């Protein structure tokens, strides 16, 4: 018996992803149930393409591209506990894990059961209300696109914080001067900027700096090694008077005239 939702017509609530920034949610350690809901909210809800370590990769709907280290730090767990938790979910046919040399992809099984718009009672299969693409997320995406076309600039400005400047190849990652200085501490920070810029084409976030940090941790970006401070020259100790006198007597030091 697997643990995914069998009837998506019952017990639905709207849960905004902004809850992940609330202090109630970020308090650690997470419970197992909280970790599962967190995975659902982190999962890609529409198939997209993005740059990953210099390569263009496809993120399919229902996939979660993270590392064990990212989840352990996010949930306040040990890596061993994260690994055991994912093994239990896979055993219960709730997820499938694909591990490669470059990344770990966790696929949520039957993701549509958690995400798709419920079918109204009494609606027969084949009717317009039962089309496979009629999901809550796709409806919202269509609404956003129409709003964007109607008033491009005002839609854009909703998500721009004050005192920020555009960065990246697409010029759509907005950071303050101090935030940009911190991002420059990462190796290949230009690639990181382009990855986040591509991701933001399909996702709205107010805090682009927070998104940058999350991407850096998820994709194992490392900070540049800090240069070692210059070493102070070793100061010679003055020769003890007794030793100096002996060396003079032995002719090792010229007698002062």
- The domain of 188 spans 137-218
Does 49 fall in a domain?
yes
Q: Do 88 and 21 share a structural domain?
A: yes
Q: Do 53 and 92 share a structural domain?
A: yes
Q: Compute the distance between CA of residue 18 and CA of residue 31 in angstroms, rounded to an integer.
A: 19
Q: Do 67 and 26 share a structural domain?
A: yes
Q: Do 168 and 87 share a structural domain?
A: no
Does 229 fall in a domain?
no
Q: Compute the distance between CA of residue 191 and CA of residue 56 in angstroms, rounded to an integer.
A: 11
Does 72 fall in a domain?
yes
Q: Do 75 and 28 share a structural domain?
A: yes
Does 250 fall in a domain?
no
Identify any residues that bridge with 174 across adjacent strands, giving them in sequence order. 166
Task: Encode burial over 92-103: b for 16+ CB neighbours within 10 A, e otherwise.
Answer: eebbeeeeeeeb
Listing DSSP states for 125-165 in one string gives TTSGGG-TT--HHHHHHHHHHHHHHH-HHHHHHTTPPTT-E
Is 161 in contact with 207 (CB distance < 8 Å)?
A: yes
Per-residue pLDDT of the chain (257 residues; tens, 9 = 90+): 455 555 555 567 778 888 888 888 888 999 999 999 999 988 888 888 777 667 777 788 889 888 888 899 999 999 999 999 999 999 999 999 887 656 678 999 988 888 776 655 544 343 344 444 445 555 545 554 454 454 444 434 444 677 888 888 888 888 988 889 998 888 888 888 888 888 877 777 778 888 888 888 887 788 888 777 777 777 777 778 887 788 777 777 666 55
Helices (runs of H) and strands (runs of E) counted in the chain:
11, 7
Does 145 fall in a domain?
yes
Which whole-number Å values give the CA distances from 201 to 53, 59, 212, 235, 243, in the listed order?
18, 14, 14, 60, 77
Which whole-number Å values give the CA distances from 165 to 174, 177, 190, 197, in the listed order?
5, 8, 15, 13
The total number of structural domains that make up the chain: 2
Residue 240 DSSP code: P
Q: Find the CATH number of the domain harbouring 93.
A: 1.10.10.10
Q: Do 167 and 113 share a structural domain?
A: no
Q: Which two tokens stand for residue 201?
A: 């084409």
Residue 64 DSSP code: E
Does 59 fall in a domain?
yes
Which whole-number Å values give the CA distances from 38 to 18, 41, 122, 175, 202, in the listed order?
11, 5, 33, 26, 20
Does 4 fall in a domain?
no
């Amino acid at each position: 018996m697997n643990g995914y939702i069998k009837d998506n017509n019952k017990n639905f609530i709207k849960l905004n992803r902004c809850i992940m920034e609330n202090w109630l949610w970020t308090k650690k350690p997470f419970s197992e149930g909280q970790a599962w809901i967190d995975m659902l909210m982190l999962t890609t809800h529409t198939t997209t393409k993005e740059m990953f370590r210099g390569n263009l990769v496809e993120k399919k709907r229902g996939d979660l591209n993270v590392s064990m280290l990212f989840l352990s730090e996010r949930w306040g767990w040990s890596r061993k506990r994260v690994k055991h938790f994912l093994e239990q979910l896979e055993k219960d046919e709730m997820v499938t894990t694909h591990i490669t040399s470059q990344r770990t992809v966790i696929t949520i099984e039957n993701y549509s059961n958690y995400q798709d718009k419920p079918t109204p009672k009494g609606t027969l299969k084949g009717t317009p209300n039962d089309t496979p693409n009629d999901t809550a997320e796709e409806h919202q995406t269509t609404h956003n696109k129409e709003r964007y076309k109607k008033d491009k600039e005002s839609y854009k400005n909703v998500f721009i914080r004050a005192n920020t400047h555009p960065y990246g190849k697409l010029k759509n990652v907005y950071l303050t001067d101090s935030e940009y200085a911190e991002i420059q501490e990462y190796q290949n920070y230009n690639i990181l900027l382009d990855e986040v810029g591509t991701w933001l084409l399909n996702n709205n976030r107010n805090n682009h700096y927070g998104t940058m940090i999350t991407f850096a941790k998820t994709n194992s970006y490392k900070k540049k090694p800090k240069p070692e401070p210059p070493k102070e020259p070793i100061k010679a100790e003055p020769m003890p008077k007794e030793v100096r006198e002996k060396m003079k007597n032995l002719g090792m030091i010229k007698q002062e005239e």
